[in-house]
Chain A
């Protein structure tokens, strides 16, 4: 990490969410600093994805809220979260299956581009220039995640690992400040996981903060600067991996003791 004091990028303040009687999140507060890889782990059903969905605006929290980049996030507005600089991938990959890989990434440029209906109908110089820029940037991103040779294939025909990569490329297309990855290594073999790790480290090096939800404890402990553990919707601990690994409560949560 750089020598200067890390500043806060995202602050969750007592976020609560319940579904009927189930308390999925109980006043979770945590802080993500600029430039770090932050891991969020916990057993199945601990509330990790719920936390993600609250943050990215897909769910409206029942209590608390988020401050991103110094300004509160508006609840129930996923498109605004993306505009503010939060991009995400999904646990069960959600690509636009019948669009090509390139088109998927081009859609990702939506929030950073302007052309409207009038521009499209007139197809004026500004629109054409923007369209060319979108295409170029999307191509660059496919190159970045190393699937540029699949650019013209339909997203659904890509291999599982490539689909994961494509989803990351699409998320990066919106130039996020915070990239949230929901179990990106799920279903990957050792080689693919190693490549993914390399990719994530590269993205961080290029200046994007990363929030990583993962089941693969080894990957999280090796990759993350700090880790938070959720259990039954409550925050157990938030610290550097070395401390988290030795924490008795974490061991209990995972072993079910």
Chain B
């Protein structure tokens, strides 16, 4: 790799940095709600890249990914809220949350190692539900999770005295809570992008790809498929745990209903729609699928008013209809995802040619 960047890529990077720095100010013009939507978009990028390790790299279809997010969120909620009267600092909670999620990943991974495809999907789906139901019911006989009421008044992210909630003045600019979280999340997302990129082109990344391609051949060349698969589960889960922690702190509130099956499916849809295993594609998928429904939420109602002068269809159901249609169309016309890796594009393109022959 070249040590010095070419002027063109240096210019590109500068442009991206400026855009990333300025984005929340632009969004803030539409109200803080838009900054919050932006925050969630970045959080989903983080989650989707975590799931991409399991689904995209190792080829293990995981429908219960949200469970690790839940474990991380509840770890933060329990260790930094008045619920137990604990207020541990971030560098204690985040590793604990990631560690617990990692253990949960290994727990899910070990009994499912021999399963593939649909069967694995069903077991992981069950696991995701089990975790959610646990959170829902662990309020008796000993109240651990406070059941369906959830946990409130969770501490925000704070480094020393610097809190990420509330508004602070920085260099004369008023930075709101969501804006500060935005920068934190962007930093975390960049970190996870770098880790993803490095893993992909490493010895471990190749081993994952080999397992995805042909598990028996992978065994024959000496890959310990059990450990390498567990590693994928553990890595993906840890990222989920970290995202969960930040989510809990950002919201100040967690309850089991945030961790439904629908969420797992959304994150998987981001990975698949964007382009499985291709990092830029996954990022695109996550951003689109998190912002598009929100844009529709704000756009559908007024659009009907303008066109017909009255609300014909409930905006909420129309939103999901448009969203579903968009998914179907993408899968029909871009089966490898919106922005697939060059190899995968070739792979699916060729399949179509073979059929045509």
Contact = CB atoms under 8 A, between A and B. Distances in A.
Interface of A: 56-58, 78-79, 81-83, 87-88, 90, 94-99, 103, 106-111, 113, 115-117, 119-121, 123, 127, 130-131, 134, 154, 170-171, 173-174
A115 B231 CA distance: 14
A78 B220 contact: yes
Interface stretch (B13-21, B105-113, B221-229, B311-319): B221-229
B344 interface: yes
Given A96-B213, A107-B210, A117 B199 contact: yes
B222 A99 contact: no
B266 interface: no
B225 A79 contact: yes
B202 A110 contact: no
A110 B213 contact: no
Contacts of B210: 96, 99, 107, 110
B8 interface: no
- The list of the 5 closest CB pairs from A to B, nearest first, reads A82-B222, A111-B222, A120-B202, A96-B213, A94-B217
A98 B223 contact: no
B187 interface: no
B219 A79 contact: yes
Given A98-B213, A98-B343, A154-B343, A120 B198 contact: yes
Main secondary structure of the interface of B (DSSP, over half): helix
B346 interface: yes
B346 to A, nearest CB: 7
B274 interface: no
A121 B221 CA distance: 24
A176 to B, nearest CB: 10
A174 B223 CA distance: 11
Contacts, number: 102
Given A96-B218, A107-B221, A120-B199, 6 more contacts: A56-B220, A57-B219, A88-B220, A90-B220, A110-B223, A116-B203
Contacts of A103: 206, 209
24 contacts: A79-B223, A82-B221, A82-B222, A90-B217, A90-B220, A94-B214, A96-B209, A110-B203, A110-B207, A110-B222, A110-B223, A111-B222, A115-B202, A117-B199, A117-B235, A119-B202, A120-B199, A120-B203, A120-B204, A127-B202, A131-B203, A134-B203, A154-B346, A170-B221
Contacts of A119: 202
Contact of B203 (A90, A96, A97, A115): A115
A96 B214 contact: yes
A174 B222 contact: yes
A108 B218 CA distance: 9
Contacts of B330: none
Contact of B216 (A58, A111, A115): A58
A154 B140 CA distance: 57
A215 to B, nearest CB: 21
B347 interface: yes
A87 B198 CA distance: 28
Interface of B: 195, 198-199, 202-207, 209-210, 213-214, 216-225, 231, 235, 343-344, 346-347
A121 B224 contact: no
Contacts of A107: 206-207, 209-210, 218, 221, 223
A82 to B, nearest CB: 3
A98 B347 contact: yes
Nearest to B195: A121
A117 B231 contact: yes
B243 to A, nearest CB: 17
A123 B346 CA distance: 29
Count chain B CB atoms within 10 A of each CB in A79, A95, A134, A170 and give the residue with the most.
A79
A121 B347 CA distance: 28
A113 B203 contact: yes
Contact of B221 (A98, A134, A174): A174
A47 to B, nearest CB: 19
A66 to B, nearest CB: 16
Contacts of B214: 94-97
Nearest to B277: A98
B199 A82 contact: no
A97 B209 CA distance: 10
Contact of B220 (A58, A116, A120): A58
A119 B219 CA distance: 22
Nearest to B217: A94
Nearest to A171: B221
Contacts of A83: 222
B221 A110 contact: yes
A178 to B, nearest CB: 13
B321 to A, nearest CB: 36
A106 B206 contact: yes
A97 B347 CA distance: 10
Contact of A108 (B216, B221, B225): B221
Count chain A CB atoms within 10 A of each CB in B220, B223, B231, B235 and give the residue with the most.
B220
B203 A79 contact: no
